[in-house]
Structures are given as structure tokens and as C-alpha cells.
């Protein structure tokens, strides 16, 4: 099996396949396997997949376990709602809620893959250029003109997937109009919660990573000209930083601790029903990229990887890679499409101003804990 992309989706797929007795070749275009970015929130659905991949002990060693999720107004500082991540939460969802540095998650997956050298062949500095099928084989040529062959090709190469162009004839990713700034700072205040600050035309998320030693910050604001930004490591334009001025003193003090921000545009794609063509299929952001407002991108990638491996291993199920790819989309399309549409709506809720802001704050303030917890059931029960 060929896998294009050595990020979270690709390495999880390789490991899931190996645990089912299948070998794979991972083609990563970067010179080394590394994950940029900072934090990842691991809901119960993601933690269950990491357990299925045999990584639970390793995860426990590096994650943080926030005590609650706080929703606050960015102007007034008022706590609008709180979701305890306590025993009741764990009982309801049969799992906890963790936060992790993205590089730590990738390292866990990478180490697990390296421990299976006879099943997982990791190859760097190889970009997919052409894809062709002949009989029961898929051939990929890289930028050096070298061929790579396998029984199928999994496109796990992210938002700007080159494999997707072979599978789906669609447009470039859609720019949402929002830009995210990210930073990692020392957690000097020993924060032990996920905090969502919501303000007019912006929001900020803060949570601990690396067992609480650092605080991951993501600050998102409307910035219509930000669609031209590329990558995760572009220095933040001054105009975006100015948009966060005038917030509550506690939030302003937090943001002022950051020595430098990097920026990236928030993009997604309209949902599609078919994620495959013949023996070539897509998973993760290559198949169904959504905006970050539910913190589920990496979680869905882990779900895809485990589900695909299970379909390929089911003796009474898919059987062939073509059938497995088809069934994967049939099983997961509705969930992925709901994620895309929900995150688009949340952008309006998080960034509300005027009467809509007051209505949002009133609604959240009246919402009981049980209802807040149950609102996430469609995500976490999976």
C-alpha cells in the first residue's frame, strides 16, 4: 500500500494497516518527518483511536488533562459557560479530554512506525507527481522520475493534496476570510483549562500542552486579504495583530506575553460524497478539510485511518481496496460534511457583534452543564 503524506493522517494509516498485517510505503515530500503548528485537542473520539493504535501509554506520558472548558466574552471577560472535564464527562463519553503538542503526537506515531521497519517503509523528500493504475497496481512517480508501486494509494497529503487532483475534479480550497495566529508560551500561571475567548470579529483559544509546561495560543480574526498567506510559519501581518487590541485586560495581558506570532489562512472545501477513484482514495484533510472551530481536524484523520484499516481487514466486508475506499466514504461522508457545515456556522457565533453577541452570551449563560456536555455527543460518541 502506498501512502502519500507523512503527517498525522498518513502515519496513523500506516500504523493502523501494520496492526492489521498490511505493509505500506509512506511518501513524504518534506526532507524529514516533522509536524509544524502547536497544539491539538484530543477529544474522546481521538483518544479511543490512539488506544486502538496501541499508543495509549505513550500518549499518557506527554499530554495535558485540562480540568474544564471555559467560554468567555473577550470584551467583558465574563465567563459565559463552563464544561467540566470531570468524572461525569468521562463516564458519559467513556474517555477523557486531553491536549497535546502537535509535534509530540507526530513523534509518537513516527516512533511506532519506525518500530515496524518490515511493515512500514518511510521515505522522505518524495513528492507525488503522477499517478496511474494498471490492473491491480497503482504506480506513482516522484519529482525525480522514480516509480513507486503498490496495491493502492492512500492520499493523506492534506489540504493542498496532489492526490486529490487525481480523484476529484474540483476547485482550490475555499478561503474563509479568517486568519489564525499561533504561538507557544510558558504556562507561568499554571492554566489547567481550555479557554475560548469570543469577541466581535475574533476569538482566541488557549490551553496547556506538554504536561502543562506550555500554553498553546490560537488567535483568529477576520482578515479578508489573508488568503494569500501560505504555510504555518509566515510571520503575522501587523494588521492582524492590531485587530486584537482593546479586549479585556486579562486577555490582553495574555496576548502581550507572545514575542512573535505566525499566521496562516483558514481554508476548507465544500463536502463531496466520493473520496476515491479506483485504487486511489483520500483520508483526513485531503478528503474533507474543515475549519478549526471544533478542533477536530486531527481527530477525524485518526478516525479515518483506523476505519480504513478495519475495512481492509474485514473478511466479510470490503475485500478490495476499491471497495474499502468506497465504503469508507459511505460510512463517514455525513459526519465529515456535518463537521464542515458546523464549523462554518460557528465562525459567525464566535465572532458575533451587536445584538447577536448579546443573544449568544445570554443563551450560553442559561445553558445547564448537562446540555453543554450533550451538545458534543455527535462528535465524542463516535
161: CB partners within 8 A, 6+ apart: 4, 5, 155, 282, 285, 286
Parallel/antiparallel/unpaired status of strands 153-155 and 234-235: unpaired
Give the helix/strand (H/E) hosting 177.
Answer: strand 174-186
Nearest to 42 by CA among 58, 65, 11: 65
Q: Is 217 in a helix, a strand, or coil?
A: strand
239 CB-side CA count, 13 A: 7
Which set of grid coordinates corresponds to residue 101? 503538542
- Partner residues linked to 68 by β-bridges: 84, 193
Q: How far apart are CA 112 and CA 133, in angstroms?
A: 30
Intra-chain end-to-end CA distance of the chain, in Å: 27
Nearest to 204 by CA among 181, 238, 224: 181
What residues are labeled active site?
207
Quick one: how many helices (H) and strands (E) in the chain?
A: 13, 19
Q: Is 356 in a helix, a strand, or coil?
A: helix
Which set of grid coordinates corresponds to residue 150? 503498490
Q: How far apart are CA 328 and CA 274, in angstroms?
A: 9
Cβ-contact 131, 163 below 8 angstroms: yes
Amino acid at each position: 500500500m502506498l501512502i502519500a503524506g507523512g503527517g498525522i493522517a498518513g502515519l496513523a494509516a500506516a500504523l493502523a494497516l501494520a496492526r492489521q498485517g498490511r505493509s505500506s510505503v509512506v511518501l513524504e515530500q518534506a526532507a524529514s518527518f516533522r509536524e509544524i503548528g502547536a497544539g491539538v485537542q484530543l477529544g474522546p473520539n481521538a483518544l479511543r483511536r490512539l488506544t486502538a493504535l496501541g499508543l495509549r501509554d505513550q500518549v499518557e506520558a506527554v499530554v495535558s488533562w485540562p480540568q474544564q472548558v471555559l467560554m468567555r466574552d473577550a470584551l467583558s471577560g465574563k465567563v459565559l459557560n463552563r464544561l467540566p472535564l470531570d468524572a461525569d464527562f468521562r463516564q458519559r463519553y467513556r474517555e477523557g479530554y486531553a491536549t497535546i503538542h502537535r509535534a509530540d503526537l507526530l513523534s509518537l506515531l513516527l516512533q511506532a512506525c519506525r518500530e515496524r521497519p518490515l511493515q512500514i517503509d518511510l521515505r522522505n523528500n518524495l513528492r507525488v507527481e503522477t499517478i496511474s493504475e494498471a490492473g491491480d497496481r497503482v504506480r506513482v512517480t516522484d519529482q525525480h522520475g522514480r516509480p513507486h508501486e503498490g496495491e493502492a494509494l492512500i492520499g493523506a497529503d492534506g489540504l493542498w493534496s496532489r492526490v486529490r487532483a487525481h480523484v476529484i475534479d474540483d476547485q482550490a480550497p475555499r478561503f474563509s476570510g479568517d486568519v489564525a495566529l499561533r504561538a507557544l508560551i510558558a504556562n507561568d500561571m499554571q492554566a489547567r483549562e481550555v479557554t475560548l475567548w469570543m469577541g466581535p470579529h475574533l476569538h482566541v483559544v488557549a490551553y496547556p500542552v506538554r504536561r502543562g509546561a506550555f500554553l498553546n495560543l490560537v488567535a483568529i480574526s477576520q482578515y479578508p486579504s489573508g488568503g494569500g498567506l501560505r504555510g504555518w510559519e509566515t510571520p503575522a501581518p501587523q494588521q492582524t495583530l492590531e485587530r486584537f487590541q482593546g479586549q479585556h485586560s486579562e486577555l490582553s495581558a495574555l496576548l502581550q506575553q507572545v514575542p512573535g506570532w505566525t499566521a496562516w489562512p483558514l481554508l476548507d472545501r465544500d463536502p463531496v460524497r466520493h473520496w476515491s477513484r479506483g485504487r486511489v482514495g483520500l483520508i483526513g484533510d485531503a478528503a474533507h478539510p474543515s475549519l478549526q472551530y471544533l478542533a477536530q481536524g486531527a481527530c477525524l484523520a485518526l478516525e479515518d485511518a483506523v476505519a480504513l484499516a478495519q475495512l481492509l481487514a474485514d473478511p466479510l466486508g470490503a475485500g478490495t481496496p476499491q471497495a474499502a475506499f468506497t465504503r469508507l466514504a459511505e460510512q463517514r461522508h455525513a459526519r465529515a460534511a456535518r463537521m464542515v457545515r458546523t464549523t462554518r456556522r460557528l465562525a459567525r457565533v464566535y465572532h458575533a457583534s451587536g445584538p447577536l453577541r448579546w443573544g449568544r452570551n445570554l443563551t450560553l449563560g442559561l445553558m445547564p452543564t448537562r446540555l453543554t456536555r450533550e451538545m458534543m455527543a455527535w462528535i465524542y460518541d463516535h
